[in-house]
Structure 1
Amino acid sequence: MSVSVESDPESPEIDDAVPPARRRFGVAGWLAAGVALGLLLGLVAGLLIVPSFTRPGEDSAEAGFARDMSTHHAQAVEMGMLAHQKASDSDVRTLGGDIALTQQAQIGMMQAWLREWKLGPTGSQPRMAWMPEGSAGLENGLMPGMATDAERAQLRSATGKAFDVLFLQLMIKHHLGGIHMAEEVVKLTDNAEVLRLAQGMVANQRNEVAAFQQLLTKLGG
Protein backbone atom coordinates (compact mmCIF):
# COMPACT_ATOMS: atom_id res chain seq x y z
CA MET A 1 0.00 0.00 0.00
CA SER A 2 1.18 3.48 -0.79
CA VAL A 3 -0.14 5.20 2.33
CA SER A 4 0.74 4.26 5.88
CA VAL A 5 -1.65 4.49 8.80
CA GLU A 6 -1.44 4.64 12.57
CA SER A 7 -0.33 1.51 14.37
CA ASP A 8 -2.62 -0.80 16.33
CA PRO A 9 -3.90 1.13 19.38
CA GLU A 10 -3.51 -2.06 21.42
CA SER A 11 0.17 -2.44 20.50
CA PRO A 12 2.51 -2.85 23.49
CA GLU A 13 4.54 0.07 22.15
CA ILE A 14 1.82 2.47 23.29
CA ASP A 15 2.14 3.80 26.83
CA ASP A 16 -0.18 1.81 29.09
CA ALA A 17 -0.70 4.94 31.16
CA VAL A 18 -2.77 6.49 28.37
CA PRO A 19 -6.46 5.59 28.87
CA PRO A 20 -7.81 3.26 26.11
CA ALA A 21 -10.60 5.69 25.25
CA ARG A 22 -8.07 8.44 24.63
CA ARG A 23 -5.97 6.12 22.50
CA ARG A 24 -8.94 5.23 20.33
CA PHE A 25 -9.89 8.86 19.97
CA GLY A 26 -6.32 9.69 18.99
CA VAL A 27 -6.21 7.12 16.21
CA ALA A 28 -9.58 8.18 14.80
CA GLY A 29 -8.61 11.84 15.11
CA TRP A 30 -5.33 11.37 13.26
CA LEU A 31 -7.05 9.46 10.48
CA ALA A 32 -9.72 12.13 10.13
CA ALA A 33 -7.01 14.78 9.97
CA GLY A 34 -5.15 12.72 7.37
CA VAL A 35 -8.29 12.36 5.28
CA ALA A 36 -8.89 16.13 5.40
CA LEU A 37 -5.25 16.76 4.46
CA GLY A 38 -5.54 14.25 1.62
CA LEU A 39 -8.51 16.13 0.22
CA LEU A 40 -6.60 19.41 0.39
CA LEU A 41 -3.49 17.96 -1.25
CA GLY A 42 -5.64 16.40 -3.95
CA LEU A 43 -7.27 19.76 -4.67
CA VAL A 44 -3.88 21.46 -4.89
CA ALA A 45 -2.44 18.72 -7.10
CA GLY A 46 -5.46 18.81 -9.39
CA LEU A 47 -5.21 22.57 -9.84
CA LEU A 48 -1.47 22.41 -10.50
CA ILE A 49 -1.55 19.69 -13.13
CA VAL A 50 -4.63 20.61 -15.17
CA PRO A 51 -3.72 22.78 -18.18
CA SER A 52 -5.98 25.82 -18.47
CA PHE A 53 -6.85 25.05 -22.10
CA THR A 54 -8.24 21.63 -21.20
CA ARG A 55 -11.92 22.31 -20.61
CA PRO A 56 -14.20 19.29 -20.92
CA GLY A 57 -17.85 20.25 -21.31
CA GLU A 58 -20.76 19.90 -18.94
CA ASP A 59 -21.92 16.59 -20.41
CA SER A 60 -18.47 15.17 -21.16
CA ALA A 61 -17.25 11.77 -20.06
CA GLU A 62 -14.51 13.51 -18.06
CA ALA A 63 -16.97 15.61 -16.06
CA GLY A 64 -19.31 12.68 -15.51
CA PHE A 65 -16.47 10.48 -14.35
CA ALA A 66 -15.12 13.10 -11.94
CA ARG A 67 -18.55 13.67 -10.41
CA ASP A 68 -19.64 10.04 -10.21
CA MET A 69 -16.31 8.67 -9.03
CA SER A 70 -16.14 11.33 -6.31
CA THR A 71 -19.45 10.03 -4.95
CA HIS A 72 -18.32 6.43 -5.36
CA HIS A 73 -15.05 7.16 -3.55
CA ALA A 74 -16.84 8.98 -0.72
CA GLN A 75 -18.57 5.76 0.29
CA ALA A 76 -15.25 3.90 0.28
CA VAL A 77 -13.76 6.61 2.50
CA GLU A 78 -16.63 6.17 4.94
CA MET A 79 -16.23 2.39 5.07
CA GLY A 80 -12.44 2.61 5.22
CA MET A 81 -12.56 4.89 8.26
CA LEU A 82 -14.97 2.48 9.94
CA ALA A 83 -12.55 -0.38 9.29
CA HIS A 84 -9.60 1.57 10.65
CA GLN A 85 -11.53 2.24 13.85
CA LYS A 86 -13.39 -1.07 14.34
CA ALA A 87 -11.65 -3.96 12.60
CA SER A 88 -10.28 -6.69 14.85
CA ASP A 89 -7.64 -7.77 12.32
CA SER A 90 -4.64 -5.44 12.07
CA ASP A 91 -4.28 -5.96 8.30
CA VAL A 92 -7.93 -5.00 7.78
CA ARG A 93 -7.39 -1.87 9.90
CA THR A 94 -4.36 -0.90 7.83
CA LEU A 95 -6.18 -1.42 4.53
CA GLY A 96 -9.13 0.60 5.78
CA GLY A 97 -6.89 3.55 6.61
CA ASP A 98 -5.08 3.31 3.28
CA ILE A 99 -8.37 3.33 1.36
CA ALA A 100 -9.72 6.33 3.28
CA LEU A 101 -6.57 8.41 2.78
CA THR A 102 -5.92 7.48 -0.85
CA GLN A 103 -9.47 7.87 -2.12
CA GLN A 104 -10.04 11.15 -0.27
CA ALA A 105 -6.96 12.58 -1.98
CA GLN A 106 -8.33 11.43 -5.33
CA ILE A 107 -11.67 13.10 -4.56
CA GLY A 108 -9.75 16.32 -4.00
CA MET A 109 -8.02 15.96 -7.35
CA MET A 110 -11.25 15.31 -9.26
CA GLN A 111 -13.03 18.21 -7.57
CA ALA A 112 -10.08 20.46 -8.52
CA TRP A 113 -10.52 19.41 -12.15
CA LEU A 114 -14.17 20.40 -12.08
CA ARG A 115 -13.28 23.81 -10.68
CA GLU A 116 -10.59 24.29 -13.32
CA TRP A 117 -13.08 23.28 -16.01
CA LYS A 118 -15.57 25.87 -14.64
CA LEU A 119 -18.05 23.11 -13.85
CA GLY A 120 -20.07 22.43 -10.72
CA PRO A 121 -19.53 19.41 -8.47
CA THR A 122 -22.89 18.04 -9.63
CA GLY A 123 -24.42 18.13 -13.10
CA SER A 124 -27.84 17.96 -14.71
CA GLN A 125 -27.27 14.49 -16.18
CA PRO A 126 -28.30 11.30 -14.34
CA ARG A 127 -25.66 9.12 -12.71
CA MET A 128 -23.51 7.27 -15.26
CA ALA A 129 -25.08 9.05 -18.24
CA TRP A 130 -21.52 9.56 -19.52
CA MET A 131 -21.04 5.79 -19.84
CA PRO A 132 -22.28 3.84 -22.89
CA GLU A 133 -24.60 1.71 -20.75
CA GLY A 134 -25.96 4.80 -19.01
CA SER A 135 -28.42 4.42 -16.17
CA ALA A 136 -28.92 0.75 -17.11
CA GLY A 137 -25.70 0.11 -15.22
CA LEU A 138 -27.18 1.30 -11.93
CA GLU A 139 -27.81 -1.36 -9.28
CA ASN A 140 -30.62 -0.62 -6.81
CA GLY A 141 -30.35 2.98 -7.97
CA LEU A 142 -26.66 3.00 -7.03
CA MET A 143 -23.52 3.07 -9.12
CA PRO A 144 -21.75 -0.29 -9.65
CA GLY A 145 -20.48 -1.90 -6.48
CA MET A 146 -21.84 0.64 -4.01
CA ALA A 147 -23.25 -0.68 -0.75
CA THR A 148 -26.92 -0.17 -0.02
CA ASP A 149 -28.14 1.74 3.04
CA ALA A 150 -29.02 -1.58 4.67
CA GLU A 151 -25.54 -2.98 4.03
CA ARG A 152 -23.90 0.13 5.44
CA ALA A 153 -26.10 -0.06 8.54
CA GLN A 154 -25.16 -3.72 8.94
CA LEU A 155 -21.48 -2.81 8.69
CA ARG A 156 -21.81 -0.08 11.31
CA SER A 157 -23.45 -2.47 13.76
CA ALA A 158 -21.12 -5.44 13.15
CA THR A 159 -18.20 -6.17 15.47
CA GLY A 160 -15.17 -8.43 15.62
CA LYS A 161 -14.53 -10.96 12.90
CA ALA A 162 -18.06 -10.48 11.50
CA PHE A 163 -17.19 -6.83 10.83
CA ASP A 164 -13.90 -7.71 9.17
CA VAL A 165 -15.48 -10.26 6.84
CA LEU A 166 -18.40 -8.00 5.88
CA PHE A 167 -16.08 -5.05 5.24
CA LEU A 168 -13.89 -7.13 2.94
CA GLN A 169 -16.88 -8.50 1.06
CA LEU A 170 -18.38 -5.04 0.56
CA MET A 171 -15.04 -3.54 -0.49
CA ILE A 172 -14.40 -6.25 -3.08
CA LYS A 173 -17.76 -5.47 -4.66
CA HIS A 174 -17.14 -1.72 -4.32
CA HIS A 175 -13.71 -1.88 -5.94
CA LEU A 176 -14.91 -4.06 -8.82
CA GLY A 177 -17.58 -1.46 -9.56
CA GLY A 178 -15.02 1.35 -9.38
CA ILE A 179 -12.65 -0.54 -11.69
CA HIS A 180 -15.45 -0.90 -14.22
CA MET A 181 -16.13 2.85 -14.18
CA ALA A 182 -12.44 3.73 -14.45
CA GLU A 183 -11.93 1.31 -17.35
CA GLU A 184 -14.83 2.94 -19.18
CA VAL A 185 -13.45 6.46 -18.93
CA VAL A 186 -10.07 5.18 -20.17
CA LYS A 187 -11.87 4.17 -23.38
CA LEU A 188 -13.66 7.51 -23.69
CA THR A 189 -11.16 10.22 -22.73
CA ASP A 190 -8.21 11.83 -24.46
CA ASN A 191 -7.44 13.96 -21.40
CA ALA A 192 -3.99 12.93 -20.19
CA GLU A 193 -4.60 13.61 -16.49
CA VAL A 194 -7.96 11.85 -16.40
CA LEU A 195 -6.40 8.92 -18.22
CA ARG A 196 -3.48 8.76 -15.81
CA LEU A 197 -5.65 8.85 -12.71
CA ALA A 198 -8.15 6.30 -14.05
CA GLN A 199 -5.41 3.87 -15.04
CA GLY A 200 -3.84 4.27 -11.61
CA MET A 201 -7.19 3.53 -9.97
CA VAL A 202 -7.57 0.35 -12.00
CA ALA A 203 -4.10 -0.92 -11.09
CA ASN A 204 -4.29 0.01 -7.41
CA GLN A 205 -7.79 -1.31 -6.83
CA ARG A 206 -7.02 -4.60 -8.56
CA ASN A 207 -4.12 -5.04 -6.16
CA GLU A 208 -6.36 -4.22 -3.22
CA VAL A 209 -9.03 -6.69 -4.38
CA ALA A 210 -6.36 -9.41 -4.37
CA ALA A 211 -5.36 -8.38 -0.84
CA PHE A 212 -9.00 -8.44 0.29
CA GLN A 213 -9.45 -11.93 -1.11
CA GLN A 214 -6.35 -13.18 0.68
CA LEU A 215 -7.60 -11.71 3.94
CA LEU A 216 -11.01 -13.30 3.47
CA THR A 217 -9.31 -16.66 3.04
CA LYS A 218 -7.29 -16.09 6.19
CA LEU A 219 -10.41 -15.15 8.14
CA GLY A 220 -12.41 -18.04 6.73
CA GLY A 221 -14.89 -15.68 5.06
Structure 2
Amino acid sequence: MTRTQWVSIAAVVLALLFAGTAAVASSVSRDGGSEQSRTPSADSPDAGFARDMAVHHQQAVEMSFIVRDSTDDEDVRRLAYDIANTQANQRGMLLGWLDLWGLPKAEAAKEPMAWMMSVPMEGMDHGYEAHDGSLMPGMATKTELKQLREARGEKAEILYLQLMTDHHKGGVSMAQGCVRLCTVGAEKSLAEGMVAAQESEMKLMADLLKERGAAAR
Protein backbone atom coordinates (compact mmCIF):
# COMPACT_ATOMS: atom_id res chain seq x y z
CA MET A 1 0.00 0.00 0.00
CA THR A 2 1.39 3.42 -0.98
CA ARG A 3 1.91 6.42 1.30
CA THR A 4 -0.99 8.18 -0.42
CA GLN A 5 -3.32 5.27 0.30
CA TRP A 6 -2.34 5.20 3.98
CA VAL A 7 -2.78 8.95 4.46
CA SER A 8 -6.03 9.04 2.48
CA ILE A 9 -7.48 6.12 4.39
CA ALA A 10 -6.46 7.70 7.70
CA ALA A 11 -8.13 10.98 6.75
CA VAL A 12 -11.35 9.26 5.69
CA VAL A 13 -11.41 7.10 8.82
CA LEU A 14 -10.98 10.20 11.02
CA ALA A 15 -13.80 11.99 9.23
CA LEU A 16 -16.13 9.01 9.38
CA LEU A 17 -15.29 8.39 13.03
CA PHE A 18 -16.31 11.91 13.99
CA ALA A 19 -19.30 11.73 11.64
CA GLY A 20 -20.45 8.56 13.35
CA THR A 21 -20.14 10.22 16.74
CA ALA A 22 -22.11 13.17 15.42
CA ALA A 23 -24.86 10.94 14.06
CA VAL A 24 -25.23 9.13 17.38
CA ALA A 25 -25.33 12.39 19.31
CA SER A 26 -27.91 13.79 16.91
CA SER A 27 -30.05 10.70 17.34
CA VAL A 28 -29.86 11.05 21.11
CA SER A 29 -30.99 14.66 20.83
CA ARG A 30 -34.03 13.70 18.76
CA ASP A 31 -34.98 11.16 21.39
CA GLY A 32 -35.17 13.79 24.08
CA GLY A 33 -31.55 14.50 24.93
CA SER A 34 -30.37 17.75 26.45
CA GLU A 35 -29.65 19.31 23.05
CA GLN A 36 -33.32 19.12 22.07
CA SER A 37 -34.08 22.22 24.14
CA ARG A 38 -31.22 24.09 22.51
CA THR A 39 -32.29 23.99 18.88
CA PRO A 40 -30.12 26.61 17.17
CA SER A 41 -31.64 29.80 15.83
CA ALA A 42 -31.28 30.86 12.20
CA ASP A 43 -28.57 33.39 13.08
CA SER A 44 -26.60 31.09 15.41
CA PRO A 45 -23.02 29.93 14.75
CA ASP A 46 -24.36 26.38 14.44
CA ALA A 47 -26.68 27.32 11.57
CA GLY A 48 -24.15 29.66 9.97
CA PHE A 49 -21.42 27.03 9.99
CA ALA A 50 -23.75 24.39 8.55
CA ARG A 51 -24.82 26.68 5.70
CA ASP A 52 -21.38 28.05 4.88
CA MET A 53 -19.51 24.76 5.14
CA ALA A 54 -22.08 23.05 2.92
CA VAL A 55 -21.28 25.62 0.20
CA HIS A 56 -17.54 25.34 0.85
CA HIS A 57 -17.68 21.53 0.63
CA GLN A 58 -19.67 21.60 -2.60
CA GLN A 59 -16.84 23.39 -4.38
CA ALA A 60 -14.28 20.88 -3.08
CA VAL A 61 -16.41 18.08 -4.52
CA GLU A 62 -16.65 19.94 -7.83
CA MET A 63 -12.89 20.48 -8.09
CA SER A 64 -12.20 16.86 -7.21
CA PHE A 65 -14.43 15.59 -10.01
CA ILE A 66 -12.77 17.99 -12.44
CA VAL A 67 -9.25 16.75 -11.73
CA ARG A 68 -10.38 13.12 -11.79
CA ASP A 69 -11.08 13.55 -15.49
CA SER A 70 -7.93 15.61 -16.16
CA THR A 71 -5.18 13.23 -15.06
CA ASP A 72 -4.26 9.56 -15.00
CA ASP A 73 -2.10 9.90 -11.89
CA GLU A 74 -3.36 7.34 -9.38
CA ASP A 75 -2.25 9.23 -6.26
CA VAL A 76 -4.02 12.45 -7.21
CA ARG A 77 -7.12 10.66 -8.47
CA ARG A 78 -7.35 8.63 -5.25
CA LEU A 79 -6.94 11.75 -3.12
CA ALA A 80 -9.60 13.55 -5.17
CA TYR A 81 -11.98 10.62 -4.76
CA ASP A 82 -11.45 10.56 -0.99
CA ILE A 83 -12.02 14.31 -0.68
CA ALA A 84 -15.15 14.21 -2.85
CA ASN A 85 -16.60 11.23 -0.99
CA THR A 86 -15.87 12.56 2.50
CA GLN A 87 -17.01 16.11 1.87
CA ALA A 88 -20.16 15.06 0.02
CA ASN A 89 -21.13 12.92 3.02
CA GLN A 90 -20.37 15.71 5.48
CA ARG A 91 -22.32 18.17 3.37
CA GLY A 92 -25.32 15.86 3.56
CA MET A 93 -25.06 15.81 7.35
CA LEU A 94 -24.86 19.60 7.58
CA LEU A 95 -27.89 20.10 5.36
CA GLY A 96 -29.70 17.36 7.26
CA TRP A 97 -29.17 19.20 10.53
CA LEU A 98 -30.63 22.36 9.05
CA ASP A 99 -33.70 20.36 8.04
CA LEU A 100 -33.87 18.82 11.52
CA TRP A 101 -33.71 22.27 13.10
CA GLY A 102 -36.33 23.65 10.70
CA LEU A 103 -33.91 26.28 9.40
CA PRO A 104 -33.31 27.54 5.83
CA LYS A 105 -30.36 26.16 3.90
CA ALA A 106 -29.59 29.63 2.54
CA GLU A 107 -30.22 33.18 3.71
CA ALA A 108 -29.78 35.86 1.09
CA ALA A 109 -29.63 38.61 3.70
CA LYS A 110 -26.71 36.96 5.54
CA GLU A 111 -23.13 37.59 4.47
CA PRO A 112 -20.99 34.42 4.38
CA MET A 113 -18.91 34.00 7.56
CA ALA A 114 -21.04 36.52 9.51
CA TRP A 115 -21.47 33.94 12.26
CA MET A 116 -17.76 34.04 13.16
CA MET A 117 -16.87 37.67 12.56
CA SER A 118 -16.54 38.38 16.27
CA VAL A 119 -13.96 35.65 16.84
CA PRO A 120 -10.27 36.48 16.32
CA MET A 121 -8.82 33.53 14.39
CA GLU A 122 -5.21 33.29 13.27
CA GLY A 123 -5.01 33.05 9.50
CA MET A 124 -8.67 34.00 8.99
CA ASP A 125 -9.34 37.08 6.90
CA HIS A 126 -12.37 38.61 8.61
CA GLY A 127 -12.41 41.40 6.04
CA TYR A 128 -12.75 38.96 3.14
CA GLU A 129 -14.83 40.24 0.25
CA ALA A 130 -16.55 37.85 -2.13
CA HIS A 131 -15.21 38.15 -5.67
CA ASP A 132 -15.40 36.27 -8.96
CA GLY A 133 -17.47 33.48 -7.44
CA SER A 134 -15.22 33.04 -4.39
CA LEU A 135 -17.65 33.54 -1.53
CA MET A 136 -15.41 32.61 1.42
CA PRO A 137 -11.70 32.33 2.29
CA GLY A 138 -10.05 29.45 0.47
CA MET A 139 -12.67 29.11 -2.23
CA ALA A 140 -11.48 29.11 -5.83
CA THR A 141 -12.66 31.85 -8.17
CA LYS A 142 -14.57 31.24 -11.40
CA THR A 143 -11.38 32.08 -13.29
CA GLU A 144 -9.40 29.48 -11.34
CA LEU A 145 -12.08 26.83 -11.87
CA LYS A 146 -11.96 27.55 -15.60
CA GLN A 147 -8.19 27.12 -15.56
CA LEU A 148 -8.57 23.81 -13.74
CA ARG A 149 -11.11 22.54 -16.27
CA GLU A 150 -8.77 23.41 -19.14
CA ALA A 151 -5.59 21.98 -17.57
CA ARG A 152 -4.39 18.45 -18.24
CA GLY A 153 -1.84 16.06 -16.78
CA GLU A 154 0.72 17.40 -14.33
CA LYS A 155 -0.43 20.97 -14.83
CA ALA A 156 -3.92 19.96 -13.67
CA GLU A 157 -2.47 18.02 -10.74
CA ILE A 158 -0.42 20.98 -9.50
CA LEU A 159 -3.26 23.48 -9.87
CA TYR A 160 -5.71 21.14 -8.12
CA LEU A 161 -3.32 20.53 -5.23
CA GLN A 162 -2.67 24.26 -4.84
CA LEU A 163 -6.35 25.21 -5.01
CA MET A 164 -7.34 22.41 -2.64
CA THR A 165 -4.63 23.39 -0.16
CA ASP A 166 -6.04 26.93 -0.11
CA HIS A 167 -9.53 25.45 0.18
CA HIS A 168 -8.55 23.28 3.14
CA LYS A 169 -6.89 26.20 4.92
CA GLY A 170 -10.13 28.15 4.72
CA GLY A 171 -12.15 25.09 5.73
CA VAL A 172 -9.94 24.38 8.75
CA SER A 173 -10.34 27.96 9.99
CA MET A 174 -14.11 27.71 9.62
CA ALA A 175 -14.20 24.37 11.43
CA GLN A 176 -12.05 25.74 14.24
CA GLY A 177 -14.54 28.60 14.51
CA CYS A 178 -17.35 26.10 14.98
CA VAL A 179 -15.37 24.21 17.60
CA ARG A 180 -15.15 27.49 19.54
CA LEU A 181 -18.66 28.82 18.93
CA CYS A 182 -21.10 26.02 18.07
CA THR A 183 -23.28 24.74 20.91
CA VAL A 184 -24.53 21.46 19.42
CA GLY A 185 -22.15 18.74 20.52
CA ALA A 186 -22.63 16.62 17.42
CA GLU A 187 -21.72 19.52 15.14
CA LYS A 188 -18.66 20.43 17.22
CA SER A 189 -17.49 16.81 16.96
CA LEU A 190 -17.91 16.85 13.20
CA ALA A 191 -15.96 20.13 13.00
CA GLU A 192 -13.12 18.61 15.04
CA GLY A 193 -13.03 15.69 12.59
CA MET A 194 -12.83 18.10 9.67
CA VAL A 195 -9.81 19.84 11.20
CA ALA A 196 -7.96 16.56 11.79
CA ALA A 197 -8.72 15.12 8.34
CA GLN A 198 -8.00 18.26 6.33
CA GLU A 199 -4.74 19.00 8.15
CA SER A 200 -3.63 15.45 7.34
CA GLU A 201 -4.58 15.92 3.70
CA MET A 202 -2.69 19.22 3.50
CA LYS A 203 0.49 17.44 4.57
CA LEU A 204 -0.04 14.86 1.84
CA MET A 205 -0.73 17.56 -0.75
CA ALA A 206 2.50 19.36 0.22
CA ASP A 207 4.41 16.12 -0.47
CA LEU A 208 2.64 15.61 -3.80
CA LEU A 209 3.41 19.17 -4.85
CA LYS A 210 7.07 18.75 -3.89
CA GLU A 211 7.29 15.61 -6.03
CA ARG A 212 6.14 17.75 -8.96
CA GLY A 213 8.61 20.55 -8.30
CA ALA A 214 5.92 22.85 -6.98
CA ALA A 215 4.63 24.20 -3.68
CA ALA A 216 1.50 25.63 -2.11
CA ARG A 217 0.73 29.22 -3.11
**TM class, shorter-length:** 0.7 to 0.9
Partner of 2:128: 137
Task: Please give the root-mean-square deviation of Cα atoms over the aligned residues, in Å.
Answer: 2.7
Following superposition, the deviation at residue 46 of structure 1 comes to 8.4
1:93-108 paired onto structure 2 within 5 Å: 93-108=77-92
Q: Is the 8 A contact 2:168 2:202 kept in 1?
A: yes
TM-score normalized by the length of structure 1? 0.77
> Residue 51 of structure 1 corresponds to which residue in structure 2?
29
Q: Which of 82, 88, 106 lines up with 2:66 in the alignment?
A: 82
Amino acid at match of 2:136: M
Residues 13-45 of structure 1 show CA distances to partners (whole Å, capped at 9, x for unaligned) of xxxxxxxxxxxxxxxxxxxxxxxxx9xx99xx5
Distance in 2, Cα, partners of 1:46 & 1:116 = 14
Moved more, 171-180 or 124-133: 124-133
Cα distance change of structure 1 residues 64 and 70 upon mapping to structure 2, 3 Å threshold: same
Q: 1:50 Cα deviation (Å)?
A: 6.4
Correspondence for 2:9 among 2, 6, 9: 2
C-alpha spacing 1:50/1:213, structure 2 compared with 1 (3 Å):
farther
**Following the alignment from structure 1 to structure 2, what is the Cα–Cα distance between the partners of residues 158 and 173?**
18
Question: Alpha carbons of 1:158 and 1:50: their partners in 2 closer, same or farther (altered >3 Å)?
Answer: farther
Amino acid at match of 2:27: I
Q: What is the percentage of aligned positions where both structures have the same residue?
A: 42
Whichever of the two has the greater Rg, that structure is: 1
For normalisation by structure 2, the TM-score amounts to 0.78
Given that 1:83 and 1:97 are in contact with CA atoms closer than 8 Å, whether structure 2 keeps it comes out as no
Greater shift, 80-89 or 188-197, is seen at 80-89
Aligned runs of 1:1-221 on 2, under 5 Å?
Answer: 1-2=8-9, 45=23, 49=27, 51-52=29-30, 53=36, 54-123=38-107, 124-132=109-117, 136-138=127-129, 140=131, 142-221=135-214
Aligned residues between the structures: 186
User: Within 2, Cα distance between the matches of 1:61 and 1:218?
Assistant: 39
Q: CA deviation at 1:171?
A: 0.4
